[in-house]
Amino acid sequence: MAALAKVGLIGLAVMGENLALNIERNGFPIAVYNRTEAKTKELMATRAKGKNFIPTFTLEAFVAALEPPRKIIILVKAGAPVDALLKQLQPLLSPGDIVIDGGNSLFTDTERREKEYAQADLNFMGMGVSGGEEGALWGPSLMPGGPIVAYQAMEPILTKIAAQVTDGPCVTYIGPGGAGHYVKMVHNGIEYGDMQLIAEAYDLLKNVVGLTPAEIHDVFKSWNQGEELQSFLIEITADIFTYIDPETHQPLVELILDKAGQKGTGKWTSQNALDLGIAIPTINAAIESRIISSFKDQRVAASSVLTGPSHFYTGDKQKFIDSVASALYCAKVCSYAQGMALLAAASSEYKYNLTLTELSRIWKGGCIIRANLLDKIQQAFKHNPLLPNLLVDPEFAQELTTKQEQWREVVATAAKVGVPCTAMSASLGYFDSYRSERLPLNLTQAQRDFFGAHTYERIDKPGSFHTEWNIR
């Protein structure tokens, strides 16, 4: 009888194929299955040739090829395909088997699926996988959640296939239920924020001080060499500006249509933050910027109707570039502060028992938001696990206070020149609101009481009050 595989993987598209190769390379014989047979055959004839793979062409054969208790990773399109596959798989499994959904599923779907599988004595886990194609192959950041016993059984494999950084593999047990997919969702929300802030920095460099793509490459390259902004996204951004389109001999980035989609994890982050009552204005601005970008035809039409200011920046070019670096850094810290605040709220609302230091640690390698900054975030929560907001960590507070002048200068210049920087200014608004001892919401409360008798509290005495405002 042929030897059984240690682990199985279903779904051989970009993520599944690369993760399967990673698992096998790390010493775990793997059985694979894909709904469309041709994909499995192609993989076996190419990248998996001669490797410890067991190709299977029915779910029955796939399940039979696995060592019990079975460990099955599924990487199929999120949503209905996951439910369809789980339904087909369930009758073929035995109590104690483990199924891990590594796709970008909605955390509430994961909670439901875990309960459904638990009724049949099956372990279902939701695991965030970040790092795209390269990460899946060479070491992603993994965010597994669900039954702890299932995590313990998977740990030897997950710790080997994850990205490795100086303080360990980029994986940890995230928490029960849908915790893994929840954390991946917020990770992606932070990723949206980072990407939008970088796009705004590019826009400012291009449209305020008129840098060419080659010059923008130099700026991003130097930022990536500095301690504050060094990150995967800044690194790839620098590279993007060097790519010349072979057909037109122009920088390819300038030929790309300026329309970006938003769906799934990014949108869910904003929706969930509203549900939990947590302010994430930078991440929301990133999502809304993508929405506005999608109205290309309307924007083109509006550009000849709505005239902007005729103000040009006449200040020092290098000074402005340096200020953009500071603005980008401060805005990015605010974006992470919002993501971390959302995670903390979710941890208590959903009883996930999240450890923010561990989350910062596992994001330091493999994933799209890996950045030097995460080291500092990890330290901040290590020094004070109950930190109410990253902004009040002494080191971040000091940095943002020092850099705020440059940040304000950038946002003010953008407003004067008419270049949108919605996420950078949303971050500044967040910073200013969060540091305000008194906000004008006393007036909001007065209005609410005026038109709806909603009552208000006072600062000088306890209790709930109502006033007949229109009796003069």
Active site residues: 184, 191
35 lies in the binding site for ligand NBP (CB under 6 A): yes
The total of other beta-carbon atoms located within 10 Å of residue 359's CB is 24
Site size for ligand NBP, by CB under 6 A?
Answer: 23
Report DSSP state, residue 124.
E
Report the residue number, 41 or 466, with the smaller CB distance to ligand NBP: 41
Of 166, 217, 201, 471, nearest in space to 322 by CA: 201
Report the residue number, 96 or 264, with the smaller CB distance to ligand NBP: 264
Residues 133-162: x/- map of binding to ligand NBP (CB under 6 A)? x-----------------------------
110 lies in the binding site for ligand NBP (CB under 6 A): no
Residue 136 to residue 22: CA distance in whole angstroms: 7
Least distance CB 180 / ligand NBP (angstroms): 12
188 lies in the binding site for ligand NBP (CB under 6 A): no
* Interface with ligand NBP (CB under 6 A), residue from 34, 224, 231, 326: 34
DSSP states of 69-109 as a string? SPEEEE---SSHHHHHHHHHHGGG--TT-EEEE-S---HHH
233 lies in the binding site for ligand NBP (CB under 6 A): no
Least distance CB 185 / ligand NBP (angstroms): 11
- The residue type found at 103 is G
- Can you say whether the dihedral through the CA atoms of 347, 352, 355, 361 is positive or negative? negative
List binders of ligand NBP among 89-108 (CB under 6 A).
103-104
Strands 141-145 and 123-130: antiparallel
Least distance CB 327 / ligand NBP (angstroms): 29
Q: Residue 456 corresponds to which tokens in the numbers above?
A: 């208000």
Report the residue number, 107 or 329, with the smaller CB distance to ligand NBP: 107
DSSP states of 306-345 as a string? S--------S-HHHHHHHHHHHHHHHHHHHHHHHHHHHHH
319 lies in the binding site for ligand NBP (CB under 6 A): no
The total of other beta-carbon atoms located within 10 Å of residue 437's CB is 4
Report the residue number, 101 or 200, with the smaller CB distance to ligand NBP: 101
- Which single residue brings its beta carbon nearest to ligand NBP? 103
Least distance CB 278 / ligand NBP (angstroms): 24
* Interface with ligand NBP (CB under 6 A), residue from 44, 64, 78, 397: 78
Least distance CB 59 / ligand NBP (angstroms): 9
Of 183, 206, 186, nearest in space to 194 by CA: 186
Report the residue number, 84 or 453, with the smaller CB distance to ligand NBP: 84
14 lies in the binding site for ligand NBP (CB under 6 A): yes
- The residue type found at 292 is I
Question: Of all helices (H) and strands (E), which one includes residue 143?
Answer: strand 141-145
Which residues are paired to 143 by β-bridges? 128
81 lies in the binding site for ligand NBP (CB under 6 A): yes
CB burial class (10 A; 0-12, 13-18, 19+) of residue 312?
exposed
Chain residues that interact with ligand NBP, rule: CB under 6 A: 11-16, 34-36, 39, 75-78, 81, 84-85, 103-104, 129-130, 132-133
